[in-house]
A and B are shown apart, each in its own frame.
Chain A
Amino acid sequence: MIATYNNADRTRRAVSAVMTSLTALCTLLAVSALLIILSYIAWRGIGSLSFQFLTDVPRPVGEGGGIGNAIVGSLVLLLISSVIGLPVGISVGVYLSEVGRGRFTDGVRFIVDTLTGIPSIVTGVFVYAILVLPMKHFSALSGGVALALIMVPIVARTTEEMLKLVPHSMREGALALGAPQWRVTLGVVIPAAAPGIATGAMLAIARISGETAPLLFTAFGSRFFPSSLNEPIASLTVQIYNYAISPYDEWHAQAWAATLVLMTLVLGINIIVRFLTRKKF
């Protein structure tokens, strides 16, 4: 199409071209920030990584030491929080999608959404108040509860979204065959949504495995391998924090190596989930 443009048209087109390029630039910068941060972690972390580092306990400056107890501690904390958080979170999701209706359910959904935005440090203070103070000591259990509290709303909302993707005809079919609602939900609807629910659970685990603030005064930290859930326990994140703010170069190097381990776990989960769900959503 041939047309003559006056100056105003030319300006409008120029503005459009500039602004749309700027949006691409914003995106490019955000992606660059990610790549810069990740590659820097890999570069700084890989140097201090060794079998001994991954299996040893922390030692005084100059004597090496490792993060073996922190890795085990983080896994124990994730296990406790998953055992508590996943069943509760999935149940809330089932309530929101399958059982509840009306204003009360909208209210619960609103509260669950709002809970995901409450700072994790507040959850730490809360668990300190209800568990650590009465028990009079820091413990792996209270750390796990704090992480579970953060996990539940995330799992609940993803579970609800996934259950809502299950076609109504499946529920109707099962109900028409005479199955009671609990069997329809447990036997038909949840299995149909299981991959999605598992995805949500994995993302929630990835999220809480990076949490530090709620562990500072619940799980606290430890220099030894865990022996009881009733004692303070080490975690990767708290270890990274303590080493990062220390004045020693050796500990800084260990903080980078521990970060590389943590990021492998967190990004690994995120990428696996993305890979598994790439065709569905």
Chain B
Amino acid sequence: MTLSQLVFRSMKKNIRHYYLYFFALIFSVTLYFSFVTLQYNPSVVEVSDSIKISAGLKAASYLLLFVVVFFVLYANRLFMKRRSKEIGLYQLIGMSKGLVTRLLVLENTILWVSALAIGVGLGFLSSRIFAMVLLRILEKDVLVQLIFSVEALQMTIFVFLALLIIVLIQTAIGIRRVSLLTLFTANAISEVNVKRFSGIQMLLGFIGLVLIGYGYYLSTTLFELESDNVNMLFYKMIAILGSTIGGTYFVFRFSVAFVLELIRKRKRGHLSIQDVLSLSPIMHRMKSNAMSLTTITVISATALGILCLSYISYYSAGSSAKQSIPFDYIVLNDQGEAFIEALKEKKIEFTQTDIEILDVEVEKKNLFVDDIPAGFSVETKGFMSITKLSDVQKVLPKLILKEEEGYITGYSSMMSEIIKWEANNPVQLTTLAGEENLSIKELIADSVLGYFLTGGGETLVVTDEKFEKLATDSSIQEQTFWSKQVGIDLVDRSQLKEVQTIYEKTTNNGHFEVTKDNGTINSVDMGSQEEFRLSMLDVYGLIIFVTGFLGLAFLMTTGSILYFKQMTEAEEERASYTVLRKIGFTANELMKGIYIKQLFSFGVPLVIGLAHSYFAVKSGWMLFGTELVMPLLITMSIYVILYSIFAFLTIGYYRKVVKDSL
């Protein structure tokens, strides 16, 4: 038999071991190639000039490359271990290490070249789908061409051939380093290593749980900085990362076995068949699995966290725009007549909300919950826009005020995290007659004025009587540039596009200018809510696309690594299944235990990963957007579903092994 015959025979025989490795390779190539192709697709690159889409994609492709390298090297190592017996046998019958190496090089090359070919083919097709998804996310109507980029092909071939060489070197070193004996026993040594559990391990297991708990606790108080040290935030983040990652390792290495050992001890030898197949193998494998489970958990938690945050930004684009520009269109003072006339002329239906405004200096220091740390300089006194209750009630009808009371609107969740205020405290208004106290009844997140009027901050709402009284104050009159905001909401929002052009034409692109009696000029440039939303989409859309893509890649790799591991475990436990079947347990009874084991193998990394990302997202989400629950639920559900698919795949594999074991 010649070498090539041997290669083909062994590949045919090993197809069961190969196919996952092969699919993993194809998947990596497909993902990478289509991603790189996107960068060279003119309909994607030219769609937005405000941001560099191709630069974003390029950065992402490097990250993707990192994932692929990590994954391929891991898969190859596992693959080698599974075949150690075969490699040992070749050497035993007298093949030299060189020859065995050549054999594996040939095998790998065949595998990689075919994966590359198939992957490029699939990538060519999928890149168009990806392009369409991207443009859909960005809400752009562009026809996507199907292009084949030679540059992308060259890039992909170069990258994967380089990777192949690394894998081959890894393989060659692997063969060279091990002796015949270790090759034969590689399986036995590495995995099941039955050992007793000592008191120290139990203690460490407990510490692991404490560490994670502490990390979570810290994350909930991330922005509560007691000291004046500005680096405190940074130190805190490091502490959180350290204690959760360390805690995760400890949990996998010690806590899990510790908890299971407690359960097992209580049974005093009377284990159920489910326990036999779940409890004890998991316990004894924890030592060798701890590192990879920690890596998988941390990676998926990171991916999930980033995915959640970018989805929050994307998801919140609409509500963020509404927070910044509360009406579809805003015109100021009486400078919007032309716009409104034009709308009436075109018979476009709309609702109009007039809100009168006064600018008053307000002292807010009593609102602060904590004393302001010495290191931070916060202006507590400054100009604030003041509106009257009856105007605001047009937007927020539930508000009711008594004499000497006021609301603060536009106090967003992001503000509330960074600057902590509390209602039922007084603020002081500066008038000509002196300071006037006003008790704040409630802090409201919704805003009623455009961000260019409030400076992105809050608005004070007072009773109509109070407002009229303030309006007569000559110094306040002097300070107030914009006395009225006219909000226009369209009845039929499908006309947004049409109205946008009218708005730009009649308001000089949203430019408003006011000149005071004393000659000071004030001007603002603003856009419509829709315009604002689209500009946010441009940025966040790209980010969500890239992170979504990478998140998927991370998920697929961690999922397949878990699958690989479970396949190997199933093979190693085949002998136990045989014994159990012989003694008289049915395949179904064994499968019940395996369900539990799989629930654990996938469930624990998933649950810990979800918990990690939940606390990570919770600690900083308000910096990214205004909605938490929905984006979090959606991303997490997608993750859970995809993980479950992998879990079901492994259960299918186990079922086959159990069925065949007798």
To the question of whether A and B form a pair in one complex, the answer is no
